[in-house]
Structure 1
Amino acid sequence: MGDSILKIKSYEFALLVIQVVSKLQKEQKEYILSRQIMRSGTAIGALIREAEFAQSKVDFIHKMSIALKEANETFYWISLLKDSHYIDNDVFVSMNTNCNELIALLVSIVKTSKKNLNS
């Protein structure tokens, strides 16, 4: 996979999540939602890294599918943080844009991989 766009974007997104969570915990003393988004938001890149050394194409698809699920869950937490007024609209837009890009890339990879597996 090398330094693929997915690998880079997921790492940068994890750094953004860490930054937002740190601020939430320090300034707003919010720990419940921030722990959830920290877990799911950083898991995306970790799963993508795991997929690099998948034991088979099926294992690769499985790991990428879980990364997709984590990205979708992260989108939920981002929306919840915005709607509960823990993050402002600028932070939401930045996180939402990055998360949606990851979701789109992962959907494409999973679909293509499944198609190639069945060919």
Structure 2
Amino acid sequence: MKEELKKRTKAFAVSIIEMTETLPRKNSTFPITNQIIRSSTSIGANYRAPLRGRSKAEFIAKLGVVVEESDETLYWLEIIAKSNS
């Protein structure tokens, strides 16, 4: 399961990067593109940290960062969808 999620979070980040390459090059898309790339790639990077946690409390705390980054990525995807970018 751990290895599967590592693969899936990496694939998700790559798919977001590829998707952002298809967005129109406008002033309004630059900050959104930057933010969504940062948050989506952070999901996988931060998922790896809890796997090295020294305690259950540390695991839970570090996994919380993954949830936050996932939620931020969802926010940016919603903005893109609503703005028809």
Residue matched to 2:48? 49
> Distance between the aligned counterparts of 1:60 and 1:22, measured in 2?
34
For residues 1-119 of structure 1, the aligned pairs below 5 Å read 2-3=2-3, 5-24=4-23, 27-29=24-26, 30-86=29-85
Q: Moved runs in structure 1, 4+ residues, more than 4 A? A: none
Q: Which amino acid aligns with 1:52?
A: L
Q: CA RMSD in A?
A: 1.5
Instruction: Please list every run of 5 or more consecutive structure 2 residues that lacks an aligned counterpart in the other structure.
Output: none
- Indicate the SS of the match to 1:7: helix
Residue 22 of structure 2 aligns to a residue in which SS? helix
Change (3 A) 1:19 1:59: same
Max radius of gyration: which structure? 1
* Aligned equivalent of 1:107: none
Q: Percent identity?
A: 34
For structure 1, the 5+ residue unaligned runs are 87-119
